[in-house]
Every structure is written in C-alpha cells, then in structure tokens.
Amino acid sequence: MKILTSILPYIQIVLAVILITAILLQKTGSQIGGAFGGGDNFSSAFHTRRGFEKILFTITIAIAIFFVVSALINLI
C-alpha cells in the first residue's frame, strides 16, 4: 500500500496531461472561435462521431474515469 501512495501522484499527473491533450485534440467547431466558446453554429455540436473522432471521444471518457478513480483512491 505504501508503494501505491508514493506512485499515485505521478500517475495522476500523467493522466491529467493525457486528458488535457485528448480534450484539446477534439474538434469543437468549424472555426477557431469554437474552441473558446464562440461560434453561432449549433449544428456542429450535434453530429455523429465517426472514425478517429469517435475513438478519441471514448478514450477521453476512459481517461477521465481513470483520473477520477485515482483521485478517489488517493482520498482513502
């Protein structure tokens, strides 16, 4: 258990960096303003994800779940 508590902060840092990278790689809009909350085109948010976009989306969710679980383990 002592090994886990000493290595867990490093795991969380790596997961946080990977999660930030995965979020920033996702396409949020057709314009650069879409990345910062701008853009008036609401149809770009509601579309079917296909190919690499779908894989990146599911990887982002999995990494987020791993990050939350590691944070909960760190509380214990």
Q: Rounded CA gap, 35 and 15, in Å?
A: 22
What integer pLDDT is reported at residue 18 of this predicted model? 96
Q: Rounded CA gap, 45 and 10, in Å?
A: 34
| 17 Cα distance to chain centroid | 9
Per the structure, the count of domains in the chain is: 1
- Residue 31: what are its φ and ψ, rounded to 5°? -115, 165
- E strand or H helix at 23, and its extent? helix 2-25
pLDDT band at 56 (very low <50, low <70, confident <90, very high): very high
Report the chain's mean pLDDT, rounded to a whole number: 82
Residue 45 has pLDDT above 80, yes or no: no
Q: Rounded CA gap, 36 and 29, in Å?
A: 10
Q: Quote the domain boundaries for residue 68.
A: 2-75
